[in-house]
Amino acid sequence: MTDEEKADYLEKLESKGTNLLNNRNLANLKAKTAKLAPILSKKKTAELEAKAEAHEVHKFAKKFIKSADQVDVSVFNDKLQIMRVMKELKEEEDQEDKNKPDA
């Protein structure tokens, strides 16, 4: 065997060894993943459900706060309207009192 042939042969052996090692590592990784998958999926599912629930609560709270603000504004507007009407009535009474002759 020439030096070139020996180098090629060693290169092929090294390549096969690397492939075997990679395949073995991949097989080990797949096995570990298969063992952990149910646990991880349960945990991930629980996390996703918790996030979804938190999002729904946040949406509801935001909607509730918005409607509460609208109620506050409408109550304020109602109070303002009542005050205007009372002011108008008082002005009318004052005007009537002025127009009324003293007895």
**9-36 tens-digit pLDDT:** 878 777 777 777 777 777 777 777 777 7
Residue 26 within any structural domain of the chain: yes
In this predicted structure, the answer to whether residue 103 has a pLDDT above a threshold of 70 is no
Predicted TM-score of the model (pTM)? 0.33
Cα–Cα dist 33/51, whole Å:
25
Cα–Cα dist 53/47, whole Å:
10
Close Cβ partners of 1 (under 8 Å, ≥ 6 residues apart): 9
Residue 78 within any structural domain of the chain: no
Residue 16 within any structural domain of the chain: yes
Residue 8 within any structural domain of the chain: yes
Residue 80 within any structural domain of the chain: no
Residue 88 within any structural domain of the chain: no
| Element counts in the chain: helices (H) and strands (E) | 1, 0
**Residue among 73, 69, 51, 50 at smallest CA distance from 61:** 69
The domain total for the chain is: 1
Q: For residue 66, what are the domain limits?
A: 3-71
Residue 37 within any structural domain of the chain: yes
**3-13 tens-digit pLDDT:** 888 888 878 77
